[in-house]
Structure 1
Amino acid sequence: MCGDSRHPSAAFLHSFLSLSQALCQNLGDLHVTGPLKDMNFSVPEGGGVRVIYQFTSEPPAVSFRATGEKDGIIDIVPKTGVLYLSGSLDWETKTVHRLQVESLDEKGNVVKGPYAVTIHVEDINDNPPEFDQIKYTGVVRQNSRPGKPFMHVHATDRDDPTTPHAQLTYSILHHFPNPYTEMLFQINNVTGAISPSVTGSYYLDPQKQDTFTLVVTVKDMAGMTMNAFTSSADVIITVKESLWKAPPTIRIQENSTQIYPVNISQVHSNEPDVIYDLFEKEKLPRLPFSIDQNGVIYVTDPLDREEKDTYSFFVVTKDNKGELVDKPLHIHVIVEDINDNPPVCQQALTVIEVQENEDEGSNIGTLLATDMDEEGTLNSRLQFKIGSQVPAVPASNLFFIQQETGILQLTSRSLNRRIASNYSLKVLVTDAVFQTICDVQIYVIDINDQIPIFEKSDYHNVTVAESLPVGTVILEIQATDGDEPATGSSYIIYQVKEGDPNNTFIIETDSVTNRGFVKINKALDFEAASVYNLVISATNPEPLVPGVQYNSSSLTLFKVFVTNVDEPPVFHKTVYKAEVSEDIPVNTLVMTVEAYDPEGDTVRYSLEGDVRKWLRVNSATGQVYTASTLDREQQGTYTVEVAASELTQKSKTTLILHLRDVNDNPPLLAMDYPPFFCHPLRGGERAFIQAADADEQWYYPTFTFSLADDMNARNNWEISKINATHAYLSPKHANFEEKVYNVPVIINDNGKPPLERKVNLKVNICKCSSEKSCFIEVQRDHSWPSTGQAIGILTGVLLIIGTSLLLG
């Protein structure tokens, strides 16, 4: 068609002239042709004039005709069969165009067809997303839960929703004002839901800032490409004060007679349609509170302040899925006291003792009472008053009680045990509402006007051995007192007044008989004190009345003679410890042990248990020296006993010698069997060698392996390190004979100073019964191994090979 004007009519040329240049340009690259048949095409929208396809004609057909949904854009060149677009398709206007194409002969009769030609319009991203509002407004409450949406923005895109062209992503571009490093709001990039961020939930406060403007953007292409279209909208957010507030402390009067439950407060959530619930802060047998679904809090039962004076619990809100909506609110309830408890006597009977010679005004005791009502209030204020006194002799008002304190006093110096030995008082104890009677019994006791008198003024002496155990009774003594028995006036206290500055003795009293028992309180020591001249006194815990004094009748003498017992020597220490280096010279002083004899006898020293004969001791001074060379590798901690002896007694102490290691042992090979290689060698074989050292390894042993400076060895073998204790020995070539090779290996222990050892490592090159064992031992003293030797060799070789395989 293009460039050829021999056949087209003038009418065709006129109608097609506007398209010829574009069609010729496209037809130059057109390679998709074919016979007339049903066809489906997918064509991207836009793009202007384009060729879609060229149908080929078959005689007698000479032209083509297209009908159907051409919409003035789609047509076919009759003579050439070129199906083309004269303009741009638009997916948003129409997604599918359905046509019928048929071929015609020269007379215009249908030769083939009509055939269905369907053109599917492919969407391209040619529409930006659009918000459904130019400006959005929303309200958020202070302290709203982070992530809980309070509003949404919404945008649409006219492009194909099944493609990324219409997949929208939301984000916040700007935040005015933005007083914090983090935004106070966040947006769900898929749904457009706006909610407070964690920072916003904490900091939003209408008192500081009540209005914010967000610039929200929406991008198509799921926001994954720089070529995505973007639109924006303003979001005006008003911050309002939180409805969700804990009420002030709630005060409830105890034992109220109201009809329960009683409304005591109400809370309001920031969110609608929440479920209110109570959560206990402390586990109680019962929580006497409830809440309804309007947030009204009730007390369900009368409260008793004496049972519990405060309650603390939380109000929570949940959604229909059971998830928390608001932060829990702390509810604090104080139970207010009423005067509903009478005074209580602390004791069923208060007993008081008073001496018959007490002065008027003396405090003789205190009546104690309590009230369970709230302390420090009028409800628990107690007042005291004496209701009666029995007997009422020699007067009816011998006693007075302080109204506010309950302290009892004497009104006169009128008590006489011969007139009345005891009195019973009824004391009225009252608070503002109640009255209680408390009983008080007052005993008039004898005054201490008699002193204790010893039965003997001198108990002479007693002789005791210095080895007598502490707690032993060495003497019993007795004094008597004429005052009333079983009182502080007649009970006797014995004390050593003189002759015992170190409290070597103690005296205990039998509370019934007043008999005294002299006991040893501290260990006796003949060498420190051989004689004690004791002066013992007898006194009462109750003071004597004026005019009466203790005298010589309340004193007695007693002498104690201590006899000597031969005691063994005493070491200054129970254990002697020293640390020395194992390489110190013989005759080096390592320590000195010391002992003394309590009797002053000469002490001689000796060693026991020195099985290695490493030490010797100077028998006179206790100085311990090395007697031979020490060796930590034989024994790192050496323990012996040192004996201290006098004429008849002997003591022992333990001497512990810790030996510090020095590097005095060169390394050695730690292998049960020599390495071997199967003949003939194939290349790449290796066997491992291992070193050990008897010296102490503080962290881990480190050895260096190398070949001796021997040309033959270096030409045939090489050593490569595996780790700190192992290395590989490898043949450098495969030209080895069947025999035992001596490989000179040098091992260095890297100590301070380092030590090394040269060893001739015997390596077998042998025929193997398999890839795992030597068939026989090669060149072993020019003789065959015995059966037992062969089995041992085979077992050892198998062990070496197995270990090599594991390390390799």
Structure 2
Amino acid sequence: MLRLCGLQFLLLIHSAVWLHLECLSVSGPLKDMDFNVQEGGGPRILHQFTLEPPAVSFRASGEKAGIIDIDPKTGILYINGSLDWETKQVHKLQVESVDESGSRVKGPYAVTIYVEDINDNPPEFNQTEYKGVVRQNSRPGKPFMYVYATDRDDPKTPHAQLSYSILHHFPKYFEEMLFQIDNATGAISPTKTGSYYLDPLKQDTFTLVVSVKDMGGMTTNAFASSVDVVITVMESLWKAPPTIHIKENSTQVHPVNITKVQSNEPDVIYDLFEKEKLPRLPFSVSEDGTIYVTEPLDREEKDMYTFYVVSKDSTGELVEKPLQIQVIVEDINDNPPVCQQDLTVVEVQENEKGGSNIGTVLATDMDEKGSLNSRLRFQIQSQEPQYPSGSLFYIQQDTGTLQLTGPSLSKRDSAKYSLTVLVSDPDFKTICDVEVHVIDINDQIPIFEKSDYDSVTLSENTPVGTVILEIQATDGDEPATGSSLIVYQMKEGDPNNTFIIETDSETNRGFVKINKALDFEAMPVYNLVINATNPEPLVQGVQYNESSLATFKVFVTNVDEPPVFQKPVYKTEVSEDIPVNTLVMTVEAYDPEGDSVRYSLEGDVRKWLRIDSVTGQVYTASLLDREKEEIYSIEVAVSELNNAAQKSKAFLVLQLRDVNDNHPQIATDNPTFFCYPVSGGEKTLIQAIDADELLFYSKFTFSLADEMNARNNWEISKYNATHAYLSPKHGNFEEKVYDVPIILNDNGEPPLENKVNLKVSICKCSTENSCFIEIDRQHSWPTAGQAIGILLGVLLIIGLEQRTQKFATSIARQSPRVTSWCHSKGPSFQLFNCQTKPQSYRSVPQQGTILSA
């Protein structure tokens, strides 16, 4: 193998050129070979073929481009120069070996050299300068011209991947660019700002400097070229017309040409669409952009239309942005005045002065508001009756306000006047009917039929709502009006509104009723003064006098009433540990007649309280106990000293506050046991309870007493605030009942401690972790035969399966002792409660049943 390295290898070729070589360490026999060679780079060795006798040399032919050859003696294939991808991308040669006589030994073999491209060509624009035309108001993003550049490098590589951008923008009088370019296609279009602001009257020419880079423009060593793009702004023909005015109810033949729009683009398609949803759009557009109104318009139906006209190309894409068309419908006088009421009724008092405004005739016109077409004028055409004058009324011609022209009206002359009012606009007339009612004035006062209604005597227990007197006054004004309606009131003698007077509006008769309970002790006699008035004010110069007043006396007689408590419920809160004879509250009552009263307690079943019969002071009579009753409710009675039948009652409620006076205990609802023999790891859950309020036993501590070797045999671990686990510390337990001394502490103030001996059974268990308990027959237990009968009867009742029945038979065979069975799923026939072993450390013990024979 030939090994050539660095700058030291010298080949004397036909041109006698020293080759600048890189390290060559590849050689081999003659065969077909392919080489990838990067263009440029200068002379280089590609490969060395080895001679195989009888061959003594090599020769090459083919596309050698004058710089590719093989040294005949050494077999070195080399390039004496630089390849150019842009000139030729593939060179194909044939290499063979020959002997001394020049005859071929091996070959020819194909040697192919693929030239790899490098980025050695900058992009070039296809023009030295570009010119384009953009139309004013062109749609943003729609291209109006393109620039194009090419790159001689390999298009399959990033070397020829081009990216366009705008370097400069002249002139630039906005911060935002007016033009944009697609970096991939070279398409130039107006930006949103440009679409809005391009105007040939302000600036008709712009110059853009557009750059193109190869390598996708993503590297700093990419080649770049630039070119000037001169853009001329052309005025747009696509402009919205000014607001269009159309008179309503036109008699022209429709459709009528109203305006025209035009696009700079040829062959566009015009179309209309609504700004708001209408039942129909009475406009159309023709192929040449002419807009028509298709039917007569009615301003009273719609006074303005706003819609858009668009231009589209053959694909349906918008060519320009939509133009807004606004049409105002002009009014003509085509609506007559309309009376707002079929009949306008005006009321006038008799004493109304001349010139007073007495009402308004209202009318409307649907023509345009504020125009002459809707201007209305009013005129009185007739008056009936024309007594005492034919011109009693005047109407303001522009407002419709009615006025009296002369002296006051008199109901004696006429109670009603009928007017016809002519209402007109410039072209139409309408008649509105008016009635003027003359109202009687309140010039008569009510007069009582008698001024003194004597007196009445009532017991103080007369029911509220009782009518005690009927009164009557008359009024000379017009009936069924505010001038003649009478309102009765207590003017004097009733400061507490004990009485009320209701009026019959048809007869003006008054009914005096009791409004509040009478009280002889508070008010034995009422000297009442009643006045009669009208809801309508009296006319000037007329006043109420003594004729509108009446007197009446009410005598109240006494009725013996029971005593009255100051409050219906007396409630207090005390601590449960207060001493006997402690004052807890005082109740108060009085007798309406002033008699002495006596107090007593009723319903004090626990005998906790006593009451001083004279003062009403309530004391504790014995020690209280919140654990028996937290809220102690009884009744307190009060009666007259001389008449015990006159008695009243109130509630007395004692709320007891808890003190920590109960020691914690172990809940013993279920026996505690472990299966014999003890294997270790067993746990059972025990629970602490306390009769005190939750505040004092919401948290317990469990520990073992230092006695009976408890701490060597047992262990206690916390489960939660009220439960703990008890577990044996070893397996050396006998089959018997153990007393486990446990110390419990609550969290009261002060805390209480209690030592409890918990009985724990170590017993044999069934396969279902149920405990067998042997029971001595000598304590009056049933015989074996009786046990069989009892057990079989129970099993028949609960319907246990055959497996359970066989188990019962085996129990009956045991003698002289009979074993009881504890199971967590026992029947309802219970003699004792039993506790099964928890299935897991987190489970709370289940309850079961002991069956014994």
Q: What range is the shorter-chain TM-score in?
A: 0.5 to 0.7
User: Aligned match of 1:231 in 202, 224, 229?
Assistant: 224
User: Aligned match of 2:37 in 43, 50, 57?
Assistant: 43
**In the alignment, which residue of structure 1 is the partner of 2:83?**
89
**Worse-matched range after superposition: 310-319 or 413-422:** 310-319
Q: Name the amino acid aligned to 2:17.
A: S
What is the correspondence of 1:179-198 to structure 2 with a 5 Å cutoff?
190-191=184-185
**In the alignment, which residue of structure 2 is the partner of 1:164?**
158
CA distance in 2, matches of 1:787, 1:573: 61
For the Cα contact (< 8 Å) 1:146–1:195, is it kept in 2?
Answer: yes
CA distance in 2, matches of 1:610, 1:142: 105
Deviation at 1:43, TM superposition (A): 2.0
Name the SS for the 1:87 alignment partner: coil
Deviation at 1:299, TM superposition (A): 5.7
Q: Name the amino acid aligned to 1:92.
A: E
**In the alignment, which residue of structure 1 is the partner of 2:114?**
120
Give the 3 Å change call, closer, same or farther, for CA 546–112 of structure 1 in structure 2.
Answer: closer
> Could you report, residue by residue, the CA deviation over 1:460-513 in whole angstroms, capped at 9, with x for unpaired residues?
445678788877755443322334333344333333333345555554433333
Give the 3 Å change call, closer, same or farther, for CA 448–26 of structure 1 in structure 2.
Answer: closer
**In the alignment, which residue of structure 2 is the partner of 1:492?**
486
For the Cα contact (< 8 Å) 1:134–1:233, is it kept in 2?
Answer: no
CA distance in 2, matches of 1:725, 1:154: 88
Q: Name the amino acid aligned to 2:74.
A: T
Name the SS for the 1:436 alignment partner: strand
CA distance in 2, matches of 1:160, 1:786: 101
Q: Name the amino acid aligned to 1:800.
A: Y
CA distance in 1, matches of 2:60, 2:377: 121
User: Aligned match of 1:425 in 408, 419, 429?
Assistant: 419
What is the correspondence of 1:598-609 to structure 2 with a 5 Å cutoff?
599=592
CA distance in 1, matches of 2:111, 2:522: 133
Deviation at 1:203, TM superposition (A): 10
What is the correspondence of 1:35-184 to structure 2 with a 5 Å cutoff?
35-131=29-125, 154-169=148-163
Give the 3 Å change call, closer, same or farther, for CA 791–397 of structure 1 in structure 2.
Answer: closer
What is the correspondence of 1:271-282 to structure 2 with a 5 Å cutoff?
278=273, 280=275
**In the alignment, which residue of structure 2 is the partner of 1:18?**
17
CA distance in 1, matches of 2:720, 2:209: 65
Unmatched runs of 5 consecutive residues or more in structure 1: 5-11, 709-717, 730-735, 762-768, 778-784, 804-808
Give the 3 Å change call, closer, same or farther, for CA 358–167 of structure 1 in structure 2.
Answer: closer
For the Cα contact (< 8 Å) 2:257–2:292, is it kept in 1?
Answer: yes
Give the 3 Å change call, closer, same or farther, for CA 640–98 of structure 1 in structure 2.
Answer: farther
Give the 3 Å change call, closer, same or farther, for CA 657–584 of structure 1 in structure 2.
Answer: closer
Deviation at 1:18, TM superposition (A): 1.0
**In the alignment, which residue of structure 2 is the partner of 1:781?**
none
Deviation at 1:394, TM superposition (A): 3.5
Deviation at 1:524, TM superposition (A): 6.8
Name the SS for the 1:379 alignment partner: helix
CA distance in 2, matches of 1:415, 1:607: 80
**In the alignment, which residue of structure 2 is the partner of 1:649?**
648
Deviation at 1:427, TM superposition (A): 1.4
Deviation at 1:430, TM superposition (A): 1.6
Deviation at 1:149, TM superposition (A): 6.4
User: Aligned match of 1:384 in 370, 375, 378?
Assistant: 378
CA distance in 2, matches of 1:195, 1:145: 9
Name the SS for the 2:373 alignment partner: helix
Deviation at 1:168, TM superposition (A): 3.9
> Could you report, residue by residue, the CA deviation over 1:270-317 in whole angstroms, capped at 9, with x for unpaired residues?
999798664545x65556566789887766555444445566777889
Deviation at 1:48, TM superposition (A): 1.6
**In the alignment, which residue of structure 2 is the partner of 1:799?**
840
CA distance in 2, matches of 1:612, 1:129: 115
**Worse-matched range after superposition: 500-509 or 462-471:** 462-471
Q: Name the amino acid aligned to 2:34.
A: N
CA distance in 2, matches of 1:178, 1:653: 95
CA distance in 1, matches of 2:598, 2:722: 54
For the Cα contact (< 8 Å) 1:264–1:299, is it kept in 2?
Answer: no
Q: Name the amino acid aligned to 1:85.
A: I
Give identity over the alignment, percent.
58
CA distance in 2, matches of 1:324, 1:575: 88
CA distance in 1, matches of 2:685, 2:631: 38
User: Aligned match of 1:555 in 541, 549, 552?
Assistant: 549
Deviation at 1:612, TM superposition (A): 14
Deviation at 1:438, TM superposition (A): 1.4
CA distance in 2, matches of 1:421, 1:50: 134
Name the SS for the 2:34 alignment partner: strand
**Aligned-CA RMSD value:** 7.0
CA distance in 2, matches of 1:269, 1:655: 99
CA distance in 2, matches of 1:707, 1:146: 90
> Could you report, residue by residue, the CA deviation over 1:8-38 in whole angstroms, capped at 9, with x for unpaired residues?
xxxx95615315x446x554xx31x333333
Deviation at 1:86, TM superposition (A): 1.4
CA distance in 2, matches of 1:151, 1:257: 50
Give the 3 Å change call, closer, same or farther, for CA 53–665 of structure 1 in structure 2.
Answer: farther
> Could you report, residue by residue, the CA deviation over 1:349-391 in whole angstroms, capped at 9, with x for unpaired residues?
2233445555443444333323333444433332221111223
**Worse-matched range after superposition: 120-129 or 718-727:** 718-727
Unmatched runs of 5 consecutive residues or more in structure 2: 5-10, 640-646, 706-714, 734-740, 759-765, 773-818, 827-833, 845-853
Give the 3 Å change call, closer, same or farther, for CA 752–347 of structure 1 in structure 2.
Answer: same
For the Cα contact (< 8 Å) 1:568–1:597, is it kept in 2?
Answer: yes
Name the SS for the 1:116 alignment partner: strand
Give the 3 Å change call, closer, same or farther, for CA 285–498 of structure 1 in structure 2.
Answer: farther
CA distance in 1, matches of 2:405, 2:528: 47
CA distance in 1, matches of 2:256, 2:601: 93
TM-score, length-scaled by structure 2:
0.64
What is the correspondence of 1:314-325 to structure 2 with a 5 Å cutoff?
none
What is the correspondence of 1:361-760 to structure 2 with a 5 Å cutoff?
361-413=355-407, 415=409, 417-446=411-440, 448-461=442-455, 475-501=469-495, 505-518=499-512, 531-544=525-538, 549-560=543-554, 599=592, 646-647=638-639, 648-652=647-651
Name the SS for the 1:61 alignment partner: coil
**In the alignment, which residue of structure 2 is the partner of 1:766?**
none
Give the 3 Å change call, closer, same or farther, for CA 749–649 of structure 1 in structure 2.
Answer: closer
**In the alignment, which residue of structure 2 is the partner of 1:351?**
345
**In the alignment, which residue of structure 2 is the partner of 1:714?**
none
Name the SS for the 1:165 alignment partner: helix
CA distance in 1, matches of 2:463, 2:482: 33
Deviation at 1:91, TM superposition (A): 1.8
Name the SS for the 2:113 alignment partner: strand
**In the alignment, which residue of structure 1 is the partner of 2:710?**
none
TM-score, length-scaled by structure 1:
0.67
Which is greater in Rg?
A: 2
**Worse-matched range after superposition: 349-358 or 525-534:** 525-534
CA distance in 1, matches of 2:694, 2:190: 63
Q: Name the amino acid aligned to 1:35.
A: P
CA distance in 2, matches of 1:216, 1:308: 54
Name the SS for the 1:799 alignment partner: coil
CA distance in 1, matches of 2:178, 2:724: 65
CA distance in 2, matches of 1:445, 1:452: 18
Name the SS for the 2:17 alignment partner: helix
What is the correspondence of 1:258-269 to structure 2 with a 5 Å cutoff?
258=252, 259-260=254-255, 263=258
Name the SS for the 1:18 alignment partner: coil
CA distance in 2, matches of 1:660, 1:277: 90
